């Protein structure tokens, strides 16, 4: 295990309107505000989205199991923002509910707001981390930089 300590930076509150692309707008905020490390929270509604609900099996590299939202769902989410190369990478997990059905997974594509969605982005200062492709798993994983690699 590796870790770093930091402190809270800016706090950004964003309101997404009906049909807004959630993941793209979060990335836009990170670019515009130069947010290099953050934790984020989502609450509201989504009408579309593709989520990964786990791997097919516990082999590497993992083969993701995809699920579609396909209609309006209530959502609560928790995620992070760290950069991969020259772009912010959003890693968002959430619970998506409709009537008596709940899906939980990693929001990856096609994220579209239903009516309204709120995001709270809490910047972390003093954290030096990036996302890099890990060849063993074929995914962009968090890498904490050491003093010598900063």
Q: What is the mean pLDDT of residues 77-82?
A: 98
Domain membership of residue 118 (yes or no) is: yes
- Residue 150: band (very low, low, confident or very high) from pLDDT cuts 50, 70, 90: very low
> Domain range for residue 23?
9-149
What three-state secondary structure class fits 30?
A: helix
- Residue 146: band (very low, low, confident or very high) from pLDDT cuts 50, 70, 90: confident
Residue 135 has pLDDT above 70, yes or no: yes
Domain membership of residue 4 (yes or no) is: no
Residue 147: the pLDDT is 62
**CATH number of the domain to which 19 belongs:** 3.30.1330.80
Stated as kind and residue range, the H or E segment containing 80 is: strand 73-84
Q: Between the CA of residue 30 and those of 37, 70, 141, 146, what are the distances in Å?
A: 9, 27, 18, 23
- The structural domain count of the chain equals 1
Residue 28: the pLDDT is 98
Question: The whole model's pTM is what?
Answer: 0.92
Domain membership of residue 14 (yes or no) is: yes
- Residue 110: band (very low, low, confident or very high) from pLDDT cuts 50, 70, 90: very high
Domain membership of residue 108 (yes or no) is: yes
Residue 149 has pLDDT above 50, yes or no: no
Q: What is the pLDDT of residues 1-40, one digit of tens each?
A: 999 999 999 999 999 999 999 999 999 999 999 999 999 9
Domain membership of residue 3 (yes or no) is: no
């Amino acid at each position: 295990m590796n870790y770093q300590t930091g402190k809270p930076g800016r706090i950004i509150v964003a309101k997404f309107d009906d049909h807004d692309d959630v993941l793209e707008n979060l990335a836009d905020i990170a670019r515009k505000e130069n947010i290099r490390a953050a934790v984020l929270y989502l609450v509201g509604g989504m009408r579309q989205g593709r989520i990964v609900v786990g791997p097919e099996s516990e082999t590497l590299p993992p083969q993701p199991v995809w699920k579609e939202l396909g209609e309006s769902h209530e959502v609560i989410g928790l995620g992070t923002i760290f950069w991969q190369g020259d772009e912010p990478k959003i890693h968002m997990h959430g619970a998506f509910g409709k009537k008596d059905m709940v899906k939980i997974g990693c929001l990856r594509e096609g994220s579209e707001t239903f009516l309204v969605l709120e995001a709270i982005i809490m910047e972390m200062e003093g954290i030096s981390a990036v996302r890099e492709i890990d060849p063993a798993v074929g995914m962009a994983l968090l890498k904490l930089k050491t003093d010598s690699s900063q």
